[in-house]
Each structure stands twice: as structure tokens, then as C-alpha cells.
Structure 1
Amino acid sequence: MTGRHPLDVPELRPLWSAVHDRLSTGRPVSRVRSGPLGDAGREALADLLGLDRLPGAEPTIPLAVLEAAVMDACGRPVREAVAAILGPIDDRAAERRRKAGQRDALWGWLAGHEVVTAQPVLLEWVGHLRGNGLVDGSPDRTRGLLTAALAVLAALPADGEPLPVLAARLLGDSHALDDGTRLSSLVLRALAVLYGTDMPDAAEGRRALWSRGGVADDELSATVLAVGLRPEGEGPVARISRICAGAGHPVGLTLAQLRSPGEFAGPAGPVYITENPSVLALALRRFGRHCPPLVCTSGWPSTAVIHLLRRLADDGASLRYHGDFDGEGIRIAAHVMAKTGAVPWRMAADDYRAAVPRVPPGPDPGRLTPAPWDRALVGSIAELRTAVVEEVVADLLLDDLAEYRHEWNDRLFDGARATTNASASSTSTS
């Protein structure tokens, strides 16, 4: 067919526009309402449909009737005729399904991302973002922004880098995390959810939240407390740690010291981690200068804590973590494990259930989020609604340390005996 469609007349344009719009919904269509039609349009429609009187100004026409009339007039179905007059007919329902599928895929990807699954409290962040919708309505632009935010979250806590330096290193743009940018707001909201605080509405609060994430930390105020740490090497950190361990004292190391430790090689065996300093005090009281390696996060870990634990893990230590059985304790545990590779130490659902009878009724566990290492744990806490702080099970933790201490002393004795025998054999031979 060439040239103008025979039914493409100005008087019928309102009709064809109405039909095109209804067919483009992608839904079944049984009738079409057209108009408003002028006198010429009403006459043209009466001629098309073979009516013996003029229709109203806004007639409703059964699609089957219109289909038959169009076939008689041009030998083509309504859909083809309307497409020839006004252009291709869309399928808006299919387009809505496609876009909904894209959105569902995007939020499913975010919820299943390793940064989120490692710290399930971030699912609250995902829910907030999903409720606010896409950036500029675009799944692709939103995914790009979220990918950048996840890269930043994976790198936190930072090692005290200034924010522009962190942004340049991770994102190639020193201004990418400037205050007020969408990306900065995304990351800060995730940190607020992670630490259980409100989203700050002032610049000072936003700087404080970045600081909790290890950005531009004060190298002297960020510290870590440890006992029984006997690293090898002649650097200041190694020597200070050995002196304190040998004297049965805790060692407090600053981030500044840990960044320039000198010669330092951590222990290759287990290093135990607790959430509360009181457990360290109990360990020192029981073991004194024979205390096994024990590091304390003192609640949410500072950059210094994460820095030391990562260094110990890099040197071959196996990190074992214990904390409080409550909502905050579970989130801290998930954070430490995600950031350092630590494994749970007496942090399973069975450990919690066994500990609950030790606690008088009353302490509520607060807001609960999943524990990635044990799906049953948070369900047990939600069922019993009892918080168990670390001090309640300190005797069990110390018994574990005592068992390890005996193994550790045996290895030291075997090593010393082997050295003595080798020396004696050499003397005999000579």
C-alpha cells in the first residue's frame, strides 16, 4: 500500500487516536470511546459504520463492529489500519512488565550482593533504597551508582585515608564522595543503618559517621587493646607487645603505631577476639603472663582493631570471634567476620540456648538482624527474647583459652626440647 491510507481523514483522527491508545495498553479491548467529534466527524463515523443516524459527540463503539467496518472499507484489520495511519502500536503492559522485571532484578542483585549478605543488617538499607525508587528512573544508572557505593562499603573501615584520597583510589574521582553527592548519601545511609544511628542531617554529623567508617581517623585516638600477643620481630610494636605479654599486662596500640610497626610477624596459631574488655581482664586474672593471644574490639571496632586483625590474619593467624548475644552484638560480630575473615567462637544457636538459663529474666535483645554464620541463631534469640552478654559465659571462654594454652605450652616445650636435642647431638658429633 502506498501513499495515504484511505481511512486517514481528519474527521476520523480522534477515533483512530483513541483506538491506537487502547490497543497500545497491551490489554484486551472490547470497545473504544472516541471523541469529541464534530459534525463532520460524526458524519464520517456514521458513513464508516453504516449507521442510519449520527452518533453522539463521544460515542462508545464495540471493537468487533469497528473491525468489520474497517475490513469492508480497506480489507485490513483495525490494528493494521491504525498502525498505518498513526505508527506502530505499543504494548505498554509488556513494557511495564519488562521494567518491573528490571527493577526486581536490580533489587535482587543488591540484596544478594556479598557486601550485604555478609552484614544482613544492610538489608534495611536495601529496603529503604527500593522504597525510594530508581535514580532518574533508570535501572542502569541506579546499578552503576550502587556498584560504586558497594565498592566503598567493601573497603570500609578505611585505614584513615582522607575522603578525597579514598574516593580517588576506589572510584578514580577525588570528588565522587563529596558532601551532598548522591553516592556520598548512599554510603552514609548504609553506615547509619550498620551502626544503628539516624542519618545525619548536618555536615558535622556526616563527618562523624565517615570517621566511624575509618575515614580520616585520628591516628592516636583509634586504638586496640590486646593481651598475650607475642609477635616476632624487633619493631616497636612487636617489642612492646611482647614486653606487656611477658609481664601479664594488656597492650594498647594506636593506629599510628600499627601503620608503622617496624619488623613485625604475628602468631601463626589461633588469635581469640572478644567484644568486651572485661573478658580480657578476667583472662589476665586467670592466666597472667601465660595468657594466650586475645584481642578486644571494645564494642564496634575502631580502624586500629580491624587493622591489627587483618595484619594478624595475613601473617597466618586464625581469628576466632565471640561477642554478646543481642541485636547489636550480632551486628558487630557480622561486621568483624566480614572485614577480617574471623570465624565464630561459641556463637551458634545451641551456645545461645545453653547460656540463656544463666541469665535472670529481663534483658531484651533489641533490634535483631540475621547472623550470616548461623541461620538459626537470630530465630532462637527472637523466640527467647533474652540478651546474653559476653561476661555471662566468660568462664566457658576462659576454659577454651586454658585448653589452647596447654597445647601452646606443649608446642613451646616440644620446640625447646627439639632445639636442645639438636644442640646436644651436634656437640656429641663434634
Structure 2
Amino acid sequence: MTDRHPLDLPELRPLWSAVHDRLSTGRPVSRVRSGPLDDAGREALADLLGLDRLPDTEPTISLAGLDGAVLDACGRPVRDIVTAILGPIHDRAAERKRRAGQRDALWEWLAGHEVVTAQPVLLDWVAHLRTNGLVDGSPDRTRGFLAAALTVLAALPADGEPLPVLAARFLDGDSHALDDGTRLSSLVLRALAVLYGTDMPDGADARRALWSRAGVADDQLSATVLAVGLRLDGGGPVARVSRICARAGHPVSLTLAQLRSPGELALPAGPLYITENPSVLALALRRFGRYCPPLVCTSGWPNTAVIHLLRLLADAGASLHYHGDFDGEGIRIAAHVLAKTGAVPWRMSADDYRAAATRVSSGPDPGRLTPAPWDRALVETMAELRTAVVEEVVADILLDDLADHRHGSE
């Protein structure tokens, strides 16, 4: 059994506790308030300090005076005495600074993650999470949840698979990790709501609808993608039907079900263009007919079928080029398409926007603007001019680009 320190007296415990607590703040300490002391405690303190009268029940004591008295009594400074009696003295100021540094590092890591930088609108998600604080107060635990959420977001839009299958595939085999009501599910859904510009879903049906929009358990027949001039090589069904439509000067509408089992396909050398609006496809068909170069339409926010087709074509060696509307939503859609397919911008620079804006006398406001990862100056210019420019305004310029790649006579 360890012997107690000679100054470890019950009547002096309030004093040692007060000194230990003040020294543990990590700040300079000159005076310590102790108490409340009973009569025995007041007498013990008077004896220790050599006072000629009893102190108050809650006295304020000079730390230097107390240190001198303790040195006289046992030859050790007061810091050593309270450490021997109550344990190590902490540095709460340094601990607060360390934890603040951990929190700052966590949010900087999240804001700089490739999933977020590729779609800067997700910085709004980061800001919301930072405002609401850490999971269970732990930076490490929070980072674990965020890393899992980022893994899921990087995998979306999904390929029409059920939510438990998606969870098991990307979250260490845990098919329940994204179950309705889980913390991780809420993290991902909030990111999707920010991404698509919708409110956070407040019911089970709304949550299922948001998951569906991100390609989870999509209807394989109703999710379709529209394209023209898609002359795919190969004997698979997708290649054959695309060639037939292209040669006839017709658009082709491919379902997710067809794209999930495309069979053999390959794209001839040359660029493939992508537009946001179906009207540009219609104008391309009117101008080029059966000689139309390959053009795919996202029809606004791309569904699973759109992303699946573009990834198939990219894997087949296609060089993807994307153009969309010059408004807040159009910039976010463009960032999404570029991030998910590897496409590059097509006439989507700040200079392109400034030139296009001269064609609009009084266009609508572009709405909420978020950064364009491919050209920082673009959104700055849009914020300056405050004019939205839809694709149809510059359709003639886009079609002139396509003319350089029109298909030869067949």
C-alpha cells in the first residue's frame, strides 16, 4: 500500500483540488480561491501558511505564498504536491487548442476531398456539417462517417441496384449501413439534396425518391437516354439499334436495361458531344440528318442511363465534350457530368459566357451560383453580368463545331 503524502489531509483536500484545477487550465495562475472550508480546514490552512488568524471559509490564496509554505513544509513545490495527491496536472488550454486543430484539419480535409472539389456545390454540405459539429464530439469518429459517405457519393449515380446491395458493395459488406434513419444515410441524403438543389427529404417516400434520383433501385425501363448520330461498332444490341437509328437520321432512346447488357460495342475515332437540352439534338438532326455526328443529351440532371452510357463510351475510348446552360443549375449539372464521366468542357469558359451574354438583351437572373471547377473566372463573370444564357442561344455555334465532325455520306 502506498503511503499518503504528509500534506494529504482531508481538511486540506478542498485546497489541493482548487490548486490542481487552476493549474490544469494551462493559463498563468497567481491566486487560487479555495473552499468552502470547515473549521478544521481553516485551522489546517492557517497552520500551513503560518497565519495568526483563521482564514475565511472561501479564502483567496497567493500561489507564490502557498508555494513557499509548501517548500518550507516538505521541500517540494506545490505543483509536485498536488500531482502526488491528485494525479497529473493537465493543460486544458493546450488540449482545447489541440482539439480545435483536429477539428479544423477535419473540415479542411473534407472541403479539399476530390468528391467535393469536383462538385463545389457540396461545399454547402460541408458548411452545414461544420455548423452542426462532430459526431459524438470525436474528430476520428466523424472522419470515419464522412469517409464512408464520400465513398458512397463517389459511387453515385448507382447502376439501378437496391440500396442494401449498394451498401454491401461499398461499405465493407454491411448491407444495413444505409438503412433509413441511420446516421450515414442521413449524411449522404443531405449531400444529394444539396447537389440536386432540393430540400432535405422529410419522409420515407421523399427519401426513397431522392435515392432513386441518384440511381438507387432505378426503374430500368423508365430511365432512358436520348442520343443522335451514335454509330457504334460491334454486334451487340445497343450497337445495332444505335447504328440503325443514326443511318436513318433518327434519334435513339436507350433504356437502362439495354445499357446494362449492351453486348459488344465500340465507338469510331473522334469526339462525342454532350448537351444539356433535347432542343439542341433536334436542331442538330434538322441540320445534319443522317450525317449527324454523335451527340448525347442529359435532359437536365442526368439519370442513371445517361451516366451509364457515357461511361460505356468513355471506356470504349470516346473523348467526351460537354456543354450546358450558363446558369447556376447548369454549372452544377456540368460539374456533375464532368466529375462522373471524365468529360471535358465544351465552350463553357468565362470568355464563352461573356460572348454568349452579348446575344441576350435582358436574360433571366442565373440564380444561385457555385464555383465551376474547370474555370474559376466563369462564375465570377456570371456574378458580374447576372444574365443566364441557355444553350439554345448559342446553338448555332455548337452546330458549327459539330459540322467539323459530321459523318461522311454512307
TM-score (norm 1): 0.93
SS in 2 for 1:271: strand
1:307 and 1:83 mapped to 2: Cα distance? 65
Q: Does 1:118 align with 2:145?
A: no
1:365 and 1:30 mapped to 2: Cα distance? 60
User: Is the Cα contact below 8 Å between 2:349 and 2:375 reproduced in 1?
Assistant: yes
Q: 1:287-326 alignment to 2 at 5 Å? A: 287-326=288-327
SS in 1 for 2:358: helix
Q: 1:355-394 alignment to 2 at 5 Å? A: 355-394=356-395
SS in 1 for 2:320: strand
2:337 and 2:363 mapped to 1: Cα distance? 28
Give the CA deviation at 1:141.
Answer: 1.4
SS in 2 for 1:295: strand
Give the CA deviation at 1:362.
Answer: 4.2
SS in 2 for 1:404: coil
Q: Does 1:205 align with 2:206?
A: yes
User: Is the Cα contact below 8 Å between 2:363 and 2:389 reproduced in 1?
Assistant: no
2:200 and 2:72 mapped to 1: Cα distance? 67
Q: Does 1:94 align with 2:72?
A: no
Larger proportion of helix:
1
SS in 1 for 2:29: coil
Residue 150 of structure 1 corresponds to 150
Residue 192 of structure 1 corresponds to 193
Query: Which deviates further from its counterpart, 66-75 or 285-294?
Result: 66-75
Give the CA deviation at 1:6.
Answer: 1.9
Residue 426 of structure 1 corresponds to none
Residue 34 of structure 1 corresponds to 34
Deviating above 2 A after TM superposition, structure 1's stretches of 4 or more consecutive aligned residues are none
Structure 2 residue identity aligned to 1:111: A
User: Is the Cα contact below 8 Å between 1:230 and 1:266 reproduced in 2?
Assistant: yes
Residue 62 of structure 1 corresponds to 62
1:60 and 1:379 mapped to 2: Cα distance? 60
Instruction: List per-residue Cα deviations over 1:360-405 (Å, max 9, x = no partner).
Output: 2241111111111111111111111111111111111111111222
Give the CA deviation at 1:66.
Answer: 1.2
1:267 and 1:115 mapped to 2: Cα distance? 31
SS in 1 for 2:354: helix
Query: Which residues of structure 1 form unaligned runs of 5+?
Result: 414-430
Q: 1:332-411 alignment to 2 at 5 Å? A: 332-405=333-406, 409=408
User: Is the Cα contact below 8 Å between 2:106 and 2:139 reproduced in 1?
Assistant: yes
2:174 and 2:360 mapped to 1: Cα distance? 52
Residue 285 of structure 1 corresponds to 286
2:363 and 2:343 mapped to 1: Cα distance? 31
User: Is the Cα contact below 8 Å between 2:224 and 2:306 reproduced in 1?
Assistant: yes
Query: Which residues of structure 2 form unaligned runs of 5+?
Result: none
1:338 and 1:161 mapped to 2: Cα distance? 21
Give the CA deviation at 1:94.
Answer: 1.0
Give the CA deviation at 1:205.
Answer: 0.3
Residue 80 of structure 1 corresponds to 80
Structure 2 residue identity aligned to 1:109: W
1:16 and 1:138 mapped to 2: Cα distance? 31
Structure 2 residue identity aligned to 1:110: L
Residue 160 of structure 1 corresponds to 160
Give the CA deviation at 1:267.
Answer: 2.9
1:28 and 1:327 mapped to 2: Cα distance? 53
User: Is the Cα contact below 8 Å between 1:233 and 1:239 reproduced in 2?
Assistant: yes
2:238 and 2:47 mapped to 1: Cα distance? 98
Structure 2 residue identity aligned to 1:242: R
User: Is the Cα contact below 8 Å between 1:267 and 1:312 reproduced in 2?
Assistant: no
Query: Which deviates further from its counterpart, 44-53 or 14-23?
Result: 44-53
SS in 2 for 1:298: coil
Give the CA deviation at 1:321.
Answer: 0.2
Q: 1:198-277 alignment to 2 at 5 Å? A: 198-277=199-278
User: Is the Cα contact below 8 Å between 1:266 and 1:311 reproduced in 2?
Assistant: no
Structure 2 residue identity aligned to 1:317: A
| RMSD over aligned Cα atoms | 1.3
1:51 and 1:270 mapped to 2: Cα distance? 93
Q: Does 1:18 align with 2:22?
A: no
Residue 427 of structure 1 corresponds to none
1:251 and 1:95 mapped to 2: Cα distance? 63
Instruction: List per-residue Cα deviations over 1:83-123 (Å, max 9, x = no partner).
Output: 11111101111111111111111111111111111111111
Give the CA deviation at 1:63.
Answer: 1.2
User: Is the Cα contact below 8 Å between 1:348 and 1:377 reproduced in 2?
Assistant: yes
Q: 1:4-15 alignment to 2 at 5 Å? A: 4-15=4-15
2:269 and 2:190 mapped to 1: Cα distance? 38
SS in 1 for 2:296: strand
Query: Which deviates further from its counterpart, 296-305 or 167-176?
Result: 167-176
User: Is the Cα contact below 8 Å between 1:270 and 1:319 reproduced in 2?
Assistant: yes
SS in 2 for 1:273: strand
User: Is the Cα contact below 8 Å between 1:269 and 1:316 reproduced in 2?
Assistant: no
Give the CA deviation at 1:54.
Answer: 1.2
Percent identity over the alignment? Answer: 86
Query: Which deviates further from its counterpart, 240-249 or 217-226?
Result: 240-249
1:38 and 1:238 mapped to 2: Cα distance? 93
SS in 2 for 1:224: strand
Residue 425 of structure 1 corresponds to none
Structure 1 residue identity aligned to 2:153: L
1:49 and 1:234 mapped to 2: Cα distance? 99
1:91 and 1:135 mapped to 2: Cα distance? 24
Instruction: List per-residue Cα deviations over 1:254-301 (Å, max 9, x = no partner).
Output: 111111222322233200000000111111111111111000000000
Instruction: List per-residue Cα deviations over 1:184-238 (Å, max 9, x = no partner).
Output: 1111111001000001110000000000010000011100000111001222221
User: Is the Cα contact below 8 Å between 1:234 and 1:263 reproduced in 2?
Assistant: yes
2:14 and 2:263 mapped to 1: Cα distance? 83
